[in-house]
């Protein structure tokens, strides 16, 4: 079927064909050589579209914030795209993708594109193909592209390296100031949104968040803090204007772009390397055979690893 030819799909994406765009996202999500061809065709080292990461703990209101951000950007004549990631079950591999539920009022709008993704075993708060999916949306003319992470804990901060700007959403009642001292989540965020301002505990949350910002790493801009409530609408205008300012001017995008290209290159190389190494393992030992050998005490995983590495050095490029 021609619709799965990646070159053809890339053309459909560029022409703004929504079904083609959706198909392209599936190809990217499923990976493999077709995905490489498609991304090669759509690749743009200096995209005009901006991306915004939206991250925070489960239930912080990320999807509801996404919904009001879509409405805001629409009112400014923009065409927002959304990639919403939900966790896949480590047991069945299945997933309930429920972020869309909060944004479904935009479903029929041809100038809004919302796509849900399961994390598919990837850790870091995103799926392994989320960055590419965002690039596909950008190539399809969507701007900005919002990337909503799974509900995160303390260390899932991959979105920072994928999005141009990151919004960290926090809510009252998550813990004391020691939580805020921990490494990881509190070190990210170009904008920190304190959501559910109508709930008790807001003053305390604001105090500890602002206190934690006194220790922002040198040379790094201090994130702005916005208090709001999606439920009541309080503070949303402030959030919109601060975020739009960040998107239009806030950061040195040239430097960011170089870092992005570098990350992209490393990721693609690592993926190909992994596939190559596993193929070598399978061809030279057989995976189950190798397990048998280790169990029988004939060798160790480390020795096999070294042998695979030595073999790959002799492999034709």
- Distances, alpha carbon 190 to alpha carbons 72, 167, 195, 217, in Å: 19, 6, 16, 13
Q: Which is nearer to another protein, 98 or 201 (CB)?
A: 98
Instruction: Give least dist CB 215 to another protein, A.
Output: 40
Q: What are the residues facing 117 on neighbouring strands?
A: 85
Q: Single out the residue of 234, 178, 173 nearest to residue 204, CA to CA.
A: 173
Contact positions vs another protein (CB under 8 A): 1, 3-4, 18-19, 22-23, 25-27, 30-32, 88-89, 92-98, 100-101, 104, 107-108, 113-116, 118, 120, 271, 275
Residues with Cβ < 8 Å from 276, sequence gap 6 or more? 312, 315
Residues 6+ apart with CB under 8 A from 106: 67, 70, 71, 74, 112, 114
**Distance in Å, CB of 270 to another protein, minimum:** 12
- Maximum CA pair distance of the chain? 67
Residue 18, both tokens:
């929504």
CB nearer another protein, residue 84 or residue 243: 84
Minimum CB distance to another protein smaller for 34 or for 190: 34
In sequence order, the β-bridge partners of residue 53 are 147, 166
Nearest to another protein of 262, 275 (CB atom): 275
Residue 95 C-beta: closest distance to another protein, Å: 5
Q: In angstroms, what is the minimal distance from the CB of 105 to another protein?
A: 8
Please, which residues have CB within 8 angstroms of residue 2's CB and are 6 or more apart in sequence?
Answer: 8
Residue 97 or 304: the one with the smaller Cβ distance to another protein is: 97
Q: What is the smallest separation between the CB atom of 299 and another protein, expressed in angstroms? A: 27
User: Which residue number, 45 or 90, has a Cβ lying nearer to another protein?
Assistant: 90
Sheet of 145-148: strands edge to edge? 113-118, 81-86, 145-148, 51-55, 165-170, 191-194, 224-227
How far apart are CB 251 and another protein at their closest, in Å? 30
CB 91, min distance to another protein, A: 8
193 φ/ψ angles, rounded to the nearest 5 degrees: -105, 120
Contacts (Cβ under 8 Å, ≥6 apart) of 57:
151, 152, 153, 170, 171, 174
Nearer to another protein, 110 or 219 (CB): 110
């Amino acid at each position: 079927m021609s619709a799965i030819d990646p070159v053809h799909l890339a053309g459909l994406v560029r022409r703004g064909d929504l079904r083609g765009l959706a198909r392209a996202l599936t190809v990217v999500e499923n990976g493999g050589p077709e995905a490489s061809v498609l991304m090669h065709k759509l690749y743009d080292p200096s995209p005009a579209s901006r991306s915004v990461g939206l991250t925070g703990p489960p239930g912080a209101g990320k999807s509801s914030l996404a919904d009001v951000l879509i409405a805001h950007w629409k009112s400014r004549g923009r065409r927002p795209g959304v990639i919403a990631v939900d966790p896949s079950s480590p047991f069945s591999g299945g997933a309930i993708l429920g972020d869309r539920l909060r944004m479904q009022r935009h479903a029929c709008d041809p100038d809004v594109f919302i796509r849900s993704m399961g994390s598919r075993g990837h850790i870091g708060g995103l799926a392994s193909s989320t960055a590419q999916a965002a690039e596909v949306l950008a190539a399809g003319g969507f701007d900005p592209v919002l990337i909503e992470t799974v509900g995160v804990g303390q260390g899932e901060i991959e979105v920072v390296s994928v999005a141009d700007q990151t919004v960290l959403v926090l809510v009252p009642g998550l813990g004391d100031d020691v939580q805020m001292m921990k490494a990881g989540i509190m070190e990210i965020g170009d904008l920190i949104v304190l959501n559910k301002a109508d709930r008790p505990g807001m003053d305390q949350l604001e105090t500890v968040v602002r206190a934690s910002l006194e220790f922002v790493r040198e040379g790094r801009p201090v994130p702005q803090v916005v208090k709001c409530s999606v439920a009541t609408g309080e503070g949303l205008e402030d959030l919109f204007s601060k975020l739009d300012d960040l998107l239009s001017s806030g950061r040195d995008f040239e430097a960011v772009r170089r870092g992005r290209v570098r990350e992209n290159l490393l990721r693609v190389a690592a993926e190909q390397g992994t596939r190559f190494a596993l193929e070598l393992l399978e061809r030279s030992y057989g995976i189950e055979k190798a397990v048998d050998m280790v169990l029988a005490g004939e060798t160790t995983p480390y020795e096999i690893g070294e042998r695979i590495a030595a073999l790959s050095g002799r492999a034709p490029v």
